[in-house]
Amino acid sequence: MMMRTLRRSIVSLVGLALGIAVALAACGPPPAPGGACRYNPHCGSGAIGAYCGDNDACQTGYCCGKDECDGGMCTVACKSDPQCPAGMLCQHDACFYACVVDADCAAGQKCKHDRVCEW
């Protein structure tokens, strides 16, 4: 009788643990901002990561014109990492997509400073 109760308790705990694991996996971190522009700056949407010619072309209202931004990339101005959207870090007073290797970046970009995708 005691073994049966113990087995039921173990099965219940395993089921609960699996349920929690599935729920946590479904939540996950939010996707990086910019959507399709993350890897395709020609997306044309004005989202973060898109090419731009001026601030009006960007949903964020900021077009980074620096060399690291390839002369025009929609992003967010910053002074420190916490000011950037999730998945981005502050470098050169602008938010850039975070990376570990070049493959984390859009075509033509490199993972520089061991942390951000730049042109």
Q: How confident is the model at residue 18 (pLDDT cuts 50, 70, 90)?
A: very low
Query: What is the model's pTM?
Result: 0.71
Mean pLDDT of the residues in the chain:
81
pLDDT, tens only, 53-100: 999 999 999 999 999 999 999 999 999 999 999 999 999 999 999 999
* Mean pLDDT, rounded, for 98-109: 93
- CA distances for 89 relative to 41, 86, 93, 112, 116, angstroms: 18, 8, 10, 12, 7
DSSP H helices, 28-118, are: none
- 69 residue type, one letter: C
* Mean pLDDT, rounded, for 26-40: 65
